[in-house]
Structure 1
């Protein structure tokens, strides 16, 4: 298959920072618009009226929040309800991944709520810093809790039942994986358990382990080539910045730090999403044959570019506050950076030695970005976030943590297993972000999460079997202790 089209498909579906922004104009609650795609179980939209500020007793403003439901396998009276958490992207439907297999096995419904301030679920028409004040993981968790209770009541009405609770189980990948774990932590009475896939539960100020994992996943030859690209790029910026940026089609990135961040992030996606050879093979070949390494990497970066293009890495791009369907991902990118700059940091900075990315992509670069894009006084309260949720010492129960061995984000996830919080590392050459649900490569999603493209499909199958065993056990305990009602802790 043509490498260019593989990479374009990867970014169009997965790369959440700069996906195409959808219109924020709300529809009346309950109205749906039908769309279909083989990549989705459903794209039929429904709407839920959500409270803007869950922490204010006097602010009663609401906004319309988009959600989806898939009921083909649902055993209405006693079947569980799987809540699939959406995150920092436009949630355009329920993906046809391994959750379809799980829903069929357990006779479950799948429902999925779009995260506030992303996609079509924006409370405001302008994402000014003032308007973004209601964007946080804490507000999002209350959104999920409110929606969970709303949907349970809706299900009861359809079945002519009262005071009945199906068994709920929560699923999420990446930031939604963290939300899944935190939902179980903060609202244990509303769910029987959760799957936290590639869950970034640890807010990290200086995330040097991220870069170290890139080097480890790349292997000696590819790592050396990437380090040489970084050296050549820094050298080019000091002599003729426009020429080196033009090679990558990145002339609009006036800030050199933004350009160097682009170069680093382009490499990250290959390991994060399970297609390392697409990046490394041409680089190692160019390095060994004496070809121009910068040209080889520029070809990769150009093919990798998302809808927003390399321009989306520019801070001027992120300062655009318009919430519009034609904004090329501005709203989603800006919303996520706001959460990064206020709650999580996850600052992907170079370690002190043997780094892959430029040392100029440092803490100051990130803090300057936060201030430039959102204004003075905006900084990530990492300690407060970890104090509130527990970081990797999270003290919830019945939470499954899954991580891919090649995923740099796993260093912000929980990797130490316990009886109540079993943790698994899926080890294979191309096991990355969300391998347990998405398969390999991570995107485009294979129908029903086909694992045949994984370098070690048996490892993925084993991890999934362990997942199923825990879900089965915890759902059974839910039903036994409350006869199909809410799990009591």
Structure 2
């Protein structure tokens, strides 16, 4: 019987109004991995497409179906018994990812190497695979992790493939299917191996964030390691100063003269709440995943504020503080004054926007409902985790984001997001078999050394016992790309560190496909 995620939880529990996309979806600090690089196809005329009648509720097929889009390239396919690589780009419309059907990506390379077909499938509730015209707490109940997993297995076993004339010989399990994804969809692939095993033969999980973490201050560990030592020293000094000044307040609303002076220095004096201010100060560090060059430019501004220094000690607080503040004035404060997005306590914000369908609302629902957590915040207190200084303030904590869940998704006909019912990331990790400790089988993990999401993957340094390590002959091999970022191997670039692991990926998949036995020939 298909387990219910909420059942597991129940068992354990006895100016212009800123848009929510600006407030939560559009910023760098708001929980969305955004890990799959878009890749266009070199010859769109070769791409075929279709829609599949996907079950709205896999626990109650009587509720009907919705149209789920998919695309394919079977030009390399060797016929029934040959592999099919199913690529899910995750929390986004899939139109911009058709390049994953051809060589130049890991899925296209797999197809070329092993005589396979590639199918690109759009995640439920994104793009044009949305079952409802309005997204409320009621209609979003069908957007959760279990339904998304069962979409993949139901598709693999039931889709009528136009390139197959063998009456189902291309479907799983008659042919070996491999589920591929990166970031959230990489975790989706790995989780599928635990929740609904036996349909897919193998899985490729790139930067797979398999550990749900509410207090994800470890997100910034990789950022701190990647930036120059002098910049790290100065950012940590500024953040320590900010925390010390804010801590002098008796409570969150007590902005004494020193606090007002500090906020005004950064151009954020209008922000009454310290968490909003801390989020603004953290903005440069939050740019790392999507725009690392911007982070290095920020560092250059700090380190040249007093001339130039390459000393690991940096320029010191006296010079770094005004330089940091000037950068925030020019970037964050300027944006705040135009959109009002930085004051998340403003009564002018219309949090509940059910007709907003472009993707950010859906992702915020998944963070609040499953919930994944992954709130990119500062530590609970300086030194609380053994590190004396951090690059993000301790005044930016998970409740800064969690408090918006019931605002974005108010009760509708008795339905609320899971977090409102007391569901936590710990419940999700239990459901998925232990998060990063799950007993994965035939799952290939590939991670990037400087990926800020690495601390939610099997390669996390903070994982009890340290990163999981496995060789290519294991059931769950782990490859870490030196200097790699987020989902670095999905698009095959001319980067030595990335190319160095390509033969290992091919070898692992070759071994697993060589072990596949057609069901009719199996002793079982």
TM-score tier by shorter-chain length is 0.7 to 0.9
Scaled by the length of structure 1, what TM-score is found?
0.75
CA contact (8 A) 1:42 1:95 kept: no
Separation in structure 1 between the aligned mates of residue 515 and residue 130 of structure 2, nearest angstrom: 38
Whether 2:161 is the aligned partner of 1:154: answer yes
The structure-2 alpha-carbon separation of the partners of 1:388 and 1:487, relative to structure 1 and needing over 3 Å to count, comes to: farther
Residue equivalent to 2:354:
321
Residue equivalent to 2:480:
425
Separation in structure 2 between the aligned mates of residue 138 and residue 80 of structure 1, nearest angstrom: 25
CA contact (8 A) 2:239 2:390 kept: no
Separation in structure 1 between the aligned mates of residue 56 and residue 130 of structure 2, nearest angstrom: 10
Q: Deviations over 1:323-354 (max 9, x none)?
A: 45xxxx4xx11211111112211222312321
Q: Secondary structure at the match of 2:193?
A: helix
Separation in structure 2 between the aligned mates of residue 323 and residue 460 of structure 1, nearest angstrom: 38
Separation in structure 2 between the aligned mates of residue 482 and residue 417 of structure 1, nearest angstrom: 31
Alignment of 1:48-59 (within 5 A): 48-56=52-60, 59=62
- 1:293 pairs with 321, 324, 343, which one? 324
Q: Point out where structure 1 has 5 or more consecutive residues left out of the alignment.
A: 1-10, 20-34, 439-448
Scaled by the length of structure 2, what TM-score is found?
0.70
Deviates more, 1:227-236 or 1:373-382: 227-236
Residue equivalent to 1:482:
518
Whether 2:442 is the aligned partner of 1:387: answer no
Deviation at 1:477, TM superposition (A): 0.9
- 2:300 pairs with 284, 287, 291, which one? 284
- Give the superposed CA RMSD: 3.8
CA contact (8 A) 1:482 1:488 kept: no
Structure exhibiting the larger radius of gyration computed from Cα positions:
2
Whether 2:442 is the aligned partner of 1:434: answer no
Residue equivalent to 1:339:
366
CA contact (8 A) 2:448 2:482 kept: yes
Separation in structure 1 between the aligned mates of residue 454 and residue 80 of structure 2, nearest angstrom: 38
Separation in structure 2 between the aligned mates of residue 465 and residue 133 of structure 1, nearest angstrom: 42
Separation in structure 2 between the aligned mates of residue 360 and residue 486 of structure 1, nearest angstrom: 61
Separation in structure 2 between the aligned mates of residue 265 and residue 141 of structure 1, nearest angstrom: 33
Q: Point out where structure 2 has 5 or more consecutive residues left out of the alignment.
A: 1-25, 247-254, 307-321, 383-388, 411-415, 460-467
Whether 2:214 is the aligned partner of 1:205: answer yes
Residue equivalent to 1:367:
402
Q: Deviations over 1:60-100 (max 9, x none)?
A: 22211122212233233443110112211222232343332
Q: Deviations over 1:233-279 (max 9, x none)?
A: 887994279967878xx99x997645643653552342x35x53442
Higher helix share: 1
Separation in structure 1 between the aligned mates of residue 50 and residue 407 of structure 2, nearest angstrom: 37
Separation in structure 1 between the aligned mates of residue 510 and residue 489 of structure 2, nearest angstrom: 16
Q: Deviations over 1:295-342 (max 9, x none)?
A: 445667699x9xx98949958465322145xxxx4xx11211111112
Residue equivalent to 2:177:
168
Deviation at 1:192, TM superposition (A): 1.5
Aligned pair count? 425
The structure-2 alpha-carbon separation of the partners of 1:301 and 1:461, relative to structure 1 and needing over 3 Å to count, comes to: farther
- 2:285 pairs with 267, 273, 282, which one? 267
